């Protein structure tokens, strides 16, 4: 049974002007997402600036999200680390406070071998009982989960059930789908590849775009599931300009600016992330206007 099907939002972590987590605004963003058909909330992922949250902040943010969501949709907690023991600790704590599943990124900087990845994920999975989605994003971590590695883990570790595929390599995703024969749930980790990955048997997307366009992102998936492929294709293509703008600088820099432009208080970014360059901010504003998000 999949943790979710459709569009899950990789939600931002709003900050106050002093740099603290803005829990009140996080609650507002969570409600906005659920009211606009988001299928799952992914808290404290890369988009949530997890790498600059202290462990205490990280766990408090997960706990707050679970309480605010209150079982309306699944909550998947980002608990990955480049240290296996830290990932185990965060994963156990997230399970304890009621997370429905975990999103565990590959160890960054260490550049583990495929054998190392198998051991890393196996030890985390053995420490908890809830399902795990692996997160493959080699552009950020320097480590790529090869298709055979993902399949080996899914077949041999009962609660490793999915993978967020953000390699950008559709040939790799196709090979993964062919090898897995359905033993692992595949989610797109790139908003410009939602439809291609759905067409390869994917179950949905873990999305940055959903932060600003939750209903539209949900509908791309739902139209495809309902057999309305022409409508889904048009929606995917209509969103490309905005998606490009949301990634014209390192995520989550543009998406937090976009939410602020929409009247939310996503607040500032934590260093080393910095405000957008003026020319890129204009690009983002224009894309948002063309998509109908701002006037």
CATH number for position 147 = 3.20.20.70
- pLDDT tens sequence across 107-124: 999 999 999 999 999 999
Residue 173 covered by a domain = yes
44: Cα separation from own chain's centroid: 9
Whole-structure pTM value? 0.96
Residue 268 covered by a domain = no
Total domain count for the chain?
A: 1
Residue 281 covered by a domain = no
Look up residue 270 and give its two tokens: 């934590």
Residue 110 covered by a domain = yes
Q: Is 121 a catalytic site residue?
A: no
- pLDDT tens sequence across 12-39: 999 999 999 999 999 999 999 999 999 9
User: What is the band of 60 on the pLDDT scale with cuts at 50, 70, 90?
Assistant: very high
- pLDDT tens sequence across 203-223: 999 999 999 999 999 999 999
Q: Is 135 a catalytic site residue?
A: yes
Please identify which of the residues 108, 135, 187, 291 carries the catalytic annotation: 135
Cis peptide leading into residue 255 (ω within 30°): no
Place of tokens 């048997």: 201
Cα(53)–Cα(291) distance, integer angstroms: 32
Contact 59, 90 (CB under 8 A): yes
Cα(88)–Cα(86) distance, integer angstroms: 5
Please identify which of the residues 63, 64, 108, 164 carries the catalytic annotation: 164
Cα(160)–Cα(132) distance, integer angstroms: 5
Residue 11 covered by a domain = yes
Residue numbers of the domain that contains 33:
6-237
């Amino acid at each position: 049974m999949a943790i979710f099907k459709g569009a899950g939002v990789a939600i931002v972590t709003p900050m106050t002007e002093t740099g603290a987590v803005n829990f009140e605004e996080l609650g507002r963003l969570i409600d906005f997402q659920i009211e606009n058909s988001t299928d799952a909330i992914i808290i404290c992922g890369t988009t949530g600036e997890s790498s600059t949250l202290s462990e205490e902040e990280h766990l408090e943010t997960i706990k707050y999200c679970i309480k605010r969501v209150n079982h309306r949709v699944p909550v998947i907690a980002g608990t990955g680390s480049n240290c296996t023991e830290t990932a185990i600790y965060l994963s156990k704590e997230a399970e304890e406070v009621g997370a429905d599943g975990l999103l565990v990124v590959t160890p960054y900087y260490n550049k583990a071998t495929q054998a190392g990845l198998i051991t890393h994920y196996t030890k985390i999975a053995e420490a908890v009982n809830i399902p795990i989605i692996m997160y493959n994003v080699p552009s950020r971590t320097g480590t790529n989960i090869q298709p055979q590695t993902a399949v080996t883990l899914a077949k041999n570790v009962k609660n490793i059930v999915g993978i967020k595929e953000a390699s950008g390599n559709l040939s790799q995703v196709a090979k993964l789908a062919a090898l897995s024969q359905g033993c692992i749930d595949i989610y797109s980790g790139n908003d410009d590849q939602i439809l291609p990955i759905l067409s390869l048997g994917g179950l949905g997307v873990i999305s940055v775009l959903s932060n600003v366009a939750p209903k539209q992102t949900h509908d791309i998936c739902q139209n495809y599931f309902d057999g309305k492929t022409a409508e889904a294709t048009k929606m995917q293509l209509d969103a490309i300009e905005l998606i490009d703008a949301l990634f014209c600088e390192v995520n989550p820099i543009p998406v937090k600016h976009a939410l602020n432009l929409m009247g939310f208080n996503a607040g500032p970014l934590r260093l080393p992330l910095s405000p957008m360059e003026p020319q890129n901010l204009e690009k983002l504003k224009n894309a948002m206007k063309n998509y109908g998000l701002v006037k």
